[in-house]
Copies of this chain bind each other. A is one copy, B any other.
Amino acid sequence: MASLEKAIQKIGPLDEEAMKAARERQDELTKPQGSLGRLEELSIKVAGIRGEATPLEHKAIIVMAADHGVVAEGVSLFPQEVTAQMVQNFLHGGAGINVLARHVGARVVVVDMGVAAELETHPHLISRKVALGTRNMMRGPAMSRAEAISAVEAGIEIMEREFEKGLDIVGTGDMGIANTTPSSAITAAITGEAVAEVTGRGTGIGDSQLAHKVRVIEETLKVNQPDPNDGLDVLAKVGGFEIGGLVGVMIGAAAHRIPIVIDGFVSGAAALIATRMAPKLSDFLIAAHLSAEIGHEVALKHLGLKPILDLRMRLGEGTGAALAIFIIEAAVRTLAEMATFSGAGVSEAEKRRVDY
């Protein structure tokens, strides 16, 4: 657990000086004060996280894949084999995240955290398989505490590698058939919200299957009794390997002052665990979008985050994060590249900012 504790200790506060400078510059740019709305807020937040105003040159989406024993309870519309098939799709560039990452100029980092199949080696596949899928959490813990720590530390280590390659902003992504089920369990456990309020249709299940999914999660929580104040306990009992990996990515990114763009519901569940383990990490999170999966709004509210986009997406893989990274980049570029009133010879307003 050495690398985990070390990374958590390394997480510092936001850079107040950099935020002040960004805020002041925003008010000197050739536009009515505040008129770039959330772009202004985002530019200031990113300045606080990074402590510098350099361009976001290196971007990555880290997509972590794993399987879930609870799939045996019939909670998903898709068969488990799809997780491994989609990993191949990621490696061949045909998935949604491949297209959107190309569109924003981000690299896609594909990690096998625990797919329930032996995957062929591939030059772009990082294998950190903790096990061949979690155990069925409705019958007992999804994984041991040691496995949970391994998953998180693998995420931290992968973030180290990516940081060394050059990384200015990171998006989180997930793939794992049935993984909205542990995500709902985590969200219910940590926020205290009723299971039915945080459980959605995942890939698109109908009403009766949804009711069944709710019962499975309720039973899971009853059987495991995760401690909401112990992030690792929640992860081990009702989590997943890709979720643990994403927790590690978040901790590692915050330790290196890299803005973390969390994707949808599964990433949100990982963020709930990560902020339990490292409360200071929450300053480094940016919510990409509001997923159509109902539990996501609950998770974001708990995290105190306001999503950038609301496009009724619910695909995962980091697709929402990729689009949001583009908006964040736009925010950073307007701050860096726009002319100032004095520089461009534009007259200023007669009065200063009013509440809008």
Binding site for B on A (CB under 8 A): 29-39, 77-79, 81-82, 85-86, 88-89, 92, 94-96, 98-100, 102-103, 201-206, 292, 308-315, 319, 323, 326-327, 329-330, 333-334, 337-339, 343-351, 353-354, 356
Contacts and interface: CB of A to CB of B under 8 A. Distances in A.
B329 A96 contact: no
Given A308-B311, A338-B94, A86 B333 contact: no
B35 A315 contact: yes
Contacts of A79: 347, 350
16 contacts: A30-B86, A33-B204, A37-B292, A37-B312, A38-B313, A77-B350, A78-B348, A81-B347, A85-B346, A85-B347, A98-B338, A100-B333, A103-B329, A206-B351, A292-B356, A311-B327
Nearest to A201: B356
B38 A92 contact: no
Counting every copy of the chain, the complex holds 2
A90 to B, nearest CB: 10
A30 B103 CA distance: 18
A32 B338 contact: no
A327 B320 CA distance: 11
A335 to B, nearest CB: 9
A297 to B, nearest CB: 15
A89 B30 contact: yes
A347 B32 contact: no
Given A95-B338, A311-B308, A334-B99, A78 B205 contact: no
Contacts of A339: 89, 92, 94-95
A115 B253 CA distance: 49
B344 A36 contact: no
A32 B204 contact: yes
Contact of A346 (B86, B100, B315, B354): B86
Given A95-B30, A330-B100, A35 B78 contact: no
A354 B89 contact: no
Contacts of A326: 103, 326
A274 to B, nearest CB: 25
B30 A94 contact: yes
Contacts of A330: 99-100, 103, 323
A339 B351 CA distance: 55
Q: Which one of A85, A311, A334 has the greatest number of beta carbons of chain B within 10 Å?
A: A311
Contact of A350 (B78, B319, B327): B78
Contacts of A78: 32, 347-350
Contacts of A36: 96, 313, 315, 319
Q: Which 9 A-B pairs have the closest CB atoms?
A: A94-B339, A37-B312, A32-B203, A35-B315, A38-B311, A37-B313, A77-B349, A85-B346, A99-B337
A311 to B, nearest CB: 4
B323 A203 contact: no
Contacts of A31: 95-96, 315
B344 A94 contact: yes
